[in-house]
């Protein structure tokens, strides 16, 4: 797999180059903090940014339980070898109660014996979407025992969205902010 660039291919937009439209789009995001580089880079395409930000925000506050959402995103970030996505979502995962041991086990996948049966199914769903572009009938059946229709729709939308984000971050060379963890070594 091609490693993420060591320097940005498209750098974050400097503060002194931000016009009123960019300032409006960034609002309270992207100015400083642990996730500024993604916003300060993607805002260079204001039309896409304006449409993407609400969609991504909706997925982050959607119908899936936060723990489930973050396990799916972490597994996707791992598959895509997205340093930025992985690091940002390690921080979010910790904030919703996912332990460092569980975060480390995401890299091993659903075969790690430490996972509960349902966590194993979540990681399997992320793997199937990544590898086969679809969730198998067996995995879907277990998800359907736990989730309502909206949550079932959200699972592939979430994983697909974070594939797109990972592809973009990796290709643009968006760099992690200071203090944001990178990818661990493969198990």
Q: What is the pLDDT of residue 1?
A: 56
Are residues 37 and 75 both part of a single domain?
no
Q: What is the pLDDT of residue 186?
A: 84
- Residue 114: count other Cβ atoms within 10 Å of its Cβ: 12
Q: What is the pLDDT of residue 34?
A: 65
Q: Which of 173, 174, 92, 160 is nearest to 126 (CA)?
A: 160
Residues of the chain below pLDDT 70: 1-4, 28-34
Are residues 161 and 96 both part of a single domain?
yes
Are residues 70 and 150 both part of a single domain?
yes
Are residues 43 and 102 both part of a single domain?
no
pLDDT digits (tens, 9 = 90+) for 28-37: 565 555 678 9
**Range of the structural domain that residue 110 is part of:** 66-172
Are residues 167 and 80 both part of a single domain?
yes
Q: What is the pLDDT of residue 4?
A: 66
Are residues 73 and 154 both part of a single domain?
yes
CA angle 22/24/25 to nearest 5° reads 65
């Amino acid at each position: 797999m091609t490693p993420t660039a060591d320097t940005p291919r498209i750098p974050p937009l400097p503060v002194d180059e931000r016009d009123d439209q960019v300032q409006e789009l960034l609002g309270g995001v992207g100015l400083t903090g642990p996730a500024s580089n993604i916003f300060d880079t993607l805002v260079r395409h204001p039309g896409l940014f304006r449409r993407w930000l609400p969609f991504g925000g909706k997925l982050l506050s959607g119908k899936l339980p936060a723990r489930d959402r973050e396990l799916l995103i972490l597994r996707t970030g791992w598959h895509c070898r997205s340093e930025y996505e992985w690091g940002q979502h390690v921080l979010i995962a910790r904030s919703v109660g996912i332990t460092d041991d569980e975060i480390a086990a995401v890299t091993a996948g659903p075969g790690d014996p430490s996972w509960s049966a349902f966590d194993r199914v979540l990681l399997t769903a992320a793997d199937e979407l990544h590898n086969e572009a679809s969730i198998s009938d067996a995995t879907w059946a277990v998800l359907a025992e736990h989730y309502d229709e909206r949550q079932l729709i959200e699972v592939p939308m979430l994983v697909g969205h974070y594939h797109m984000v990972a592809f973009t971050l990796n290709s643009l060379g968006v760099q992690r902010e200071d203090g944001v963890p990178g990818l661990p070594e493969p198990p």
